Amino acid sequence: MFPAIPEMTGRYLAGWMEGSAEFPRGLPEYTPHQQRENQKETEQLLEHARRFRTRGKLPVEGGQALLRKQVRASVVRLLLQREDPALSVFMDECEEVAKAFVRAAKGFDPAISENDAVQALRNQWVFNSIQSYFGCPISMTESSFAYSMLYPYTDNRLDGDGSWEKAKDAYMQWLSLRLQGQNCGTVGVHEGAVSRLIGMIERQYPRSAYPEVHRSLLAIHDAQSRSLQLHRAQQTKDEASLLAITIEKGGTSVLADGYLVSGTLAPGMAEVMFAYGVMLQLVDDLQDVDEDRAFRHSTAFTRALGSGRLDTPTNRLFSFMHWCRAVMDNCAPTSPFSPCALIAGSCLVLVLESIARHHAYYSRTYLSRMEKCMPLPIEFFGTVKTSLDWRMAKQFQGQEVERNRLREVSKTMEGNGNGN
């Protein structure tokens, strides 16, 4: 039975609203010495990024997107201080899937940008974490690839700067018809690519045999349509109404992943997927607060900045993550290691990194208390993401110069050969 999305949205809205706004308890604390030692190891990882998983001077297939993901995963693994062999196996398997994914992405769309590839790959890793949660082999499936690739073709495009605002409604209507299986035609290359991706899902999960899979895709589409309201002026909507839109979008996004893993979900597993998705959505909103402000997107964090600091909504996020973890633990099946612990630990690292990076949005008192909970010195922690992106960009600029040089040498040699 397909879950009632409005009821689930209401439960998670209540979970957020009833969460504590006080400073979180139970966060791990680090001594200045531990922070400095973690910084040394992280700096070594960043320095090693130029040669990370490379063959000679050129990277293995996958490019900048894969390198960025691999190094960030290594940083998260370091900061989580987890030595679980099963976790290491899982992370290694995810890296192998990532290589295959980026090759497939480049094959599907040779012009795909590195940023779009990273966004798509992120959902593939969410999919892999659900596979582990269900005890399934870690792999890329036809439908996981297709659903992940829909993000740069739909979600990212809709979150843009509004340059095609008038066309959004027509595009969303076209997409709704296509997701319902109607032959509505295509109006351009972009729609053609989206239709091909949906076709991949239909091949793995025929509509007649797996109706809930396709209902889940329509659920995320409906939530995405409603989330467009967060891109527009919202003087008439209260905080609860706006939060409900965010919660529905986040919950249904990973709910669809769950259905694409197994074809069907028991009610408890649907609840877990929804919890996972809402948690990821809110963590992403904190991470992206600067970009959302620039595009005038309404989130719990951009709205809070309109009237003050991020201390209170961030405290609520910590409380909500703890609440979601409890939901997931209650339904977790037996597994070689706890995916719930990995998910919660990774989200914790991302939130702490966001606080360090956006420190100007917090009170001095808050930062003083939170600094003890940082696995890295707060000044350094706030620069890790920027430093990694800069190093990756510089690396690939140099590699592109090298590729161009080798092309020119090859052309010269070919020319000399033909001349002889």
Q: What is the pLDDT along the chain (420 residues), one digit of tens a residue?
A: 799 999 999 999 999 999 999 999 999 899 999 999 888 888 887 776 555 444 443 344 445 555 555 555 666 666 566 556 776 788 788 888 988 998 899 899 998 887 788 889 889 989 998 998 888 999 999 999 999 999 888 865 565 555 556 677 788 889 999 999 987 776 677 888 999 999 999 999 999 999 999 999 999 999 998 888 777 655 557 899 999 999 999 999 999 999 999 999 999 999 999 999 999 999 999 999 999 999 888 999 999 998 899 999 999 999 999 999 998 888 766 555 566 777 888 889 889 999 999 999 999 999 999 999 998 999 999 887 766 554 444 433 344 434 444 444 444 444 544 444
| CATH entry, 30-414, from 3.30.70, 1.10.600, 2.60.420, 3.30.390 | 1.10.600
Q: How many Å apart are CA 420 and CA 412, to the nearest integer?
A: 12
Q: Which conformational region is residue 197 in: left (phi greater than 0), alpha (psi within -120 to 50 degrees), or beta? A: alpha
The C-alpha atoms of residue 131 and residue 235 are separated, in whole angstroms, by: 42
Residue 324 contacts residue 276 (beta carbons within 8 Å):
yes
- Kindly give the residue spans of alpha helices, DSSP state H, lying in 159-238: 165-179, 189-204, 211-227
Structural contact between residues 207 and 214, judged by C-beta atoms closer than 8 angstroms: yes
Encoded amino acid at 317, one letter: L
Backbone angles phi, psi at 329, to 5 degrees: -65, -35
Pairing of strands 54-55, 58-59: antiparallel
CB 139 within 8 A of CB 131: yes
Domain range summary for the chain, segments of one domain joined by +: 30-414
Q: What is the pTM of this model?
A: 0.85
Tokens of 394: 């510089």
SS3 149: helix
Backbone φ and ψ of 233, nearest 5°: -60, 135
The single residue listed with the structure tokens 């293995």 is 60
